Amino acid sequence: MHDFAYRYGFTEKAFNFQQSNLGKGGKEGDRVLMSVQDASGVNNANFATPPDGQSGQCRMFIWTLTNPRRDGTMENDIVIHEMTHGITNRMTGGGTGRCLQTTESGGMGEGWSDAMADWMAQSSGTTKDFIVGQYVANRAKGIRSFPYSTSATTNPLRYSSLQKLTEVHDIGEVWANMLHQVYAALVAARGFSSNKLTDAGAKEGNVVFMRVMMDALAIQPCNPTFIQARDAIIQADQNRFNGVNKCIIAKAFASRGLGLKATAKFVDDATLPAGC
Ligand SMILES: [Zn+2]
């Protein structure tokens, strides 16, 4: 996770977790501390993100839904989800670890973490539905409400779903599913790179997706709304790719109600930017 995320911009200057920053900026002495089979809980995991210069701490729990019990550390989705909390909490708002504190931004924090696990699991140009936590829960539907899917039948979550959601993981499902649409659209348009973990300069859609998702973290405001986070992704595409993916990205968000004229009232909107 460190090495892959570094290539996509989570560097010393971007407030990453390293024991030594090798003279490359940022604050050091903050390697991630990992506790496996941690006794402080069950059926979950967590990641505490203090400011740059203090270690992040990940605690992975045993899951008790099966007999014998299962170890969350054995499921890549869960590990990636937790580590991504460290990335999003550090990159948003300049390394303070305090800029995903509102319910809406904290919900997106859960969403980015699921979206990262989704991105890791995709292995070809055919974007598959993604289900979190199938192993730990030992059930086909995993631990979320719906698979992440481009099918509105399989996953009906839309921007307007937020009117009724108050729990951060539930809110995160709406955001992760929007990101799944963006991902699938970029892969459909620009293809898939099998070297995604090592070649962040590749031109394929899955790499472009991770580029704009990571870049956006650093330019969005502290405690962003869905609208601000969407705008940051579109701006990130402008900054890095001269906006060549603007319409692809905007259409994907609009397909789930986060169109150009969506407001903070969580009413679906399908408006596209001019020229799209
Ligand atoms: Zn989480």
Q: Which domain holds residue 204?
A: 73-254
Candidates 28, 82, 104, 173; catalytic one = 82
Question: How much is the pTM?
Answer: 0.98
Question: CB-hemisphere CA count at 13 Å for 167?
Answer: 5
* 110 marked as binding residue: yes
Please compute the mean of the pLDDT values over residues 65-84 and round it to a whole number: 97
The dihedral through the CA atoms of 209, 52, 83, 2 has a sign that is: positive
Within-domain flag for 135:
yes
Q: Tell me the CA–centroid distance for residue 46 and ligand 1, in Å.
A: 6
- Both tokens of 64, joined, read 């008790």
**Known active-site residue 12:** no
Q: Tell me the CA–centroid distance for residue 199 and ligand 1, in Å.
A: 27
H or E segment to which residue 58 belongs: strand 57-60
Domain count, the chain: 1
Band the pLDDT of 6: cuts 50, 70, 90: very high
- Both tokens of 124, joined, read 């070809």
| pLDDT tens digits, one per residue of 12-32 | 999 999 999 999 999 999 999
Within-domain flag for 50:
no
Q: Tell me the CA–centroid distance for residue 82 and ligand 1, in Å.
A: 6
Within-domain flag for 218:
yes
Q: Tell me the CA–centroid distance for residue 232 and ligand 1, in Å.
A: 21
- Both tokens of 55, joined, read 């270690």
Within-domain flag for 44:
no
| pLDDT tens digits, one per residue of 142-154 | 999 999 999 999 9
Within-domain flag for 34:
no
| pLDDT tens digits, one per residue of 160-197 | 999 999 999 999 999 999 999 999 999 999 999 999 99
